[in-house]
Amino acid sequence: NQESLAQIKASIKTIPDYPKAGIMFRDVTSLLEDAQAYKATIAILVAQYQSKGFTKVVGTEARGFLFGAPLALELGIGFVPVRKPGKLPRETLSENYELEYGKDTLEIHTDAINADDKVLVIDDLLATGGTIEATVKLIRRLGGHVEDAAFIISLPEIGGEKRLKEMGINVLSLCEYEGE
Ligand code: PRP
Ligand code: MG
């Protein structure tokens, strides 16, 4: 497991000054290109979350789909997408959230989650936590139970972990980057 985590972290490339000067961009696409690292990532998440009674995995567009869908398949439970506005064809709920500059909206199908669901939320990266706070609110508005969120990458200095913990969410992150 320590070995797998080191392999996963080594597969994530860092691009300095992207998308703007001073930002160290952690690029999860290089992990996806590495079959062993991708497989190890899903295996760690399966080991962590199997046999815990989860009934749904929720992943947030777009990069949350890349980890949420394979995880749901391995856990043998359904995958529910949270999407950007106007993409889901059935009745939806919407939640606004703050971006670094401006606002955006996320949506979920109202019939995709119910009060019997115990939901695991997954995304590639946790920064401010705004994306996953909005995702958790959507699930809770539908009556779903959610206390767990998993990330491949976390940037704890930006505050998302604290923000999610204050909402009663246990945060698992495979690779943390602090002052690197
Ligand atoms: C990125 C990333 C997370 C989110 C993290 O998504 O994939 O979803 O930002 O930031 P936060 O914790 O501050 O909310 P982005 O909105 O860039 O879109 P994408 O997944 O469609 O690429
Ligand atoms: Mg995203």
Q: What is the pLDDT of residues 56-103, one digit of tens each?
A: 999 999 999 999 999 999 999 999 999 999 999 999 999 999 887 789
How far is ligand 1, taken at its centre, from the CA of residue 116, in Å? 28
Q: Indicate left, alpha or beta for 146 from its phi (over 0: left) and psi (-120 to 50: alpha).
A: beta
Rounded CA gap, 119 and 29, in Å?
26
CATH of 52-176, one of 3.40.1120.10, 3.40.50.2020, 3.90.1150.10, 3.30.930.10: 3.40.50.2020
Write the single-letter amino acid at 2. Q
Which residue lies with its CA nearest to atom 1 of ligand 1?
A: 125
Kindly report the three-state secondary structure assignment for every residue of 113-153.
CCCCCEEEEEEEEECCCHHHHHHHHHHHHCCCEEEEEEEEE
User: Nearest ligand to the C-alpha of residue 134?
Assistant: 1
Mean pLDDT, all residues of the chain: 97
Ligand 1 nearest atom to the CA of residue 133, by list position: 14
**Kind and range of the H or E element at 48?**
helix 35-49
Only one residue has tokens 């609110």, namely 137
Name the pTM for this structure: 0.97
Which residue lies with its CA nearest to atom 2 of ligand 1?
A: 125
Q: What is the mean pLDDT of residues 46-50?
A: 98
How far is ligand 1, taken at its centre, from the CA of residue 128, in Å? 9
Question: Quick count: other Cβ atoms within 10 Å of Cβ 60?
Answer: 23
Q: Which of 122, 127, 108 is nearest to 177 (CA)?
A: 127
Model ipTM? Answer: 0.99
Only one residue has tokens 């777009």, namely 62
Give the count of alpha carbons within 13 A of 51, CB side only.
2
Q: Enumerate the active-site residues.
A: 63, 100
